[in-house]
Amino acid sequence: MIISAENITFSYNKEQSFILPNLYCSAGSTILITGDSGKGKTTYLHILAGLLKPITGKILIDGTDIVALKESKNDKFRGQNIGLVFQKSHFISSLTVLENLEMASWLATGKKNTTRAKKLLEQLDIKNQENKIPTQLSIGQQQRVSIARALMNEPKVLLADEPTSSLDDKNAEKVIELLTGLSKEYKAALIIVTHDSRIKEKFINQLTLV
């Protein structure tokens, strides 16, 4: 397994605590995490990304327990091994599309991987947008740039939070095809959090939080 999570519990306060199901995902495979609002979908994704630390449990990514890592090592490990596609893109607004991708590689490795950035933009059919700033792009194009940025450092795990919620049917289908296709190509475990009923039928492996 590229990623596994076992015995995970988390609490924001006494009124809001979660006991989360075990999760196992191998390279090139996809798991969909579904459930009603407030059941902990995004919380679970943030725990898997090492952005939140659970009260109990362990999360192994390629053999490393990220729960046991100190914060500085956790940040470095995330940059090198985990790709994140957020619901909102969080680009650096003053940088071009290409520069945003280069920054992702520079933060993780200390080097700007321009060649890889341009290859991903070409794969995602947005090469002609590389010199624009993100606000000049459509929502669908911004989501493609988010996917490219998440793949910049060849992550072992790709985590996507509601990647289709703001897209029309055509673009939603394209984004799911891109995510699943690229995760297989780059041998990354793909975990998608969604309440989007349009994409649920496309995946066999699902975890429903109740």
Give pLDDT tens digits for 176-186: 999 999 999 99
Q: Is 186 helix (H, G, I), strand (E, B) or coil?
A: coil
**Which residues, in sequence order, are CB contacts of 165 under 8 Å at separation 6+?**
87, 194, 195, 196
Place of tokens 């989501």: 143
For 42-52, b where at least 16 C-beta lie within 10 A, e where not — what string? Answer: bbbbbbbbbee
pTM of the model: 0.94
For residue 197 the two structure tokens come to: 């009923």
Average pLDDT of the segment spanning 94-108: 96
Q: How many CB atoms lie within 10 A of CB 154?
A: 14
- What is the structure's pLDDT at 81? 96
Rg, Å, the chain Cα set: 17
**What is the four-CA torsion angle of 185, 190, 196, 197, rounded to 10 degrees?**
80
- What is the structure's pLDDT at 129? 97
Instruction: Express each pLDDT in 112-169 by its tens digit.
Output: 999 999 999 999 999 999 999 999 999 999 999 999 999 999 999 999 999 998 889 9
Q: How many CB atoms lie within 10 A of CB 167?
A: 19
pLDDT for residue 89 is more than 90:
no
Q: How far is CA 180 from CA 28, 30, 51, 132, in A?
A: 8, 7, 23, 26
Phi-psi region of 187 (alpha: psi -120 to 50; beta: other; left: phi over 0): left
The one-letter amino acid at 65:
D
User: What structural domains does the chain harbor?
Assistant: 3-209 (3.40.50.300)
- Nearest partner of 18 among 66, 48, 56, 49, judged by Cα: 56
Q: Are 18 and 11 in contact (CB under 8 A)?
A: yes
The one-letter amino acid at 168:
D
- Inter-axis angle of helices 97-109 and 114-123, to 10 degrees? 130
- Nearest partner of 20 among 55, 51, 66, judged by Cα: 55
- What is the structure's pLDDT at 121? 96
The DSSP bridge partners found for residue 161 are 193
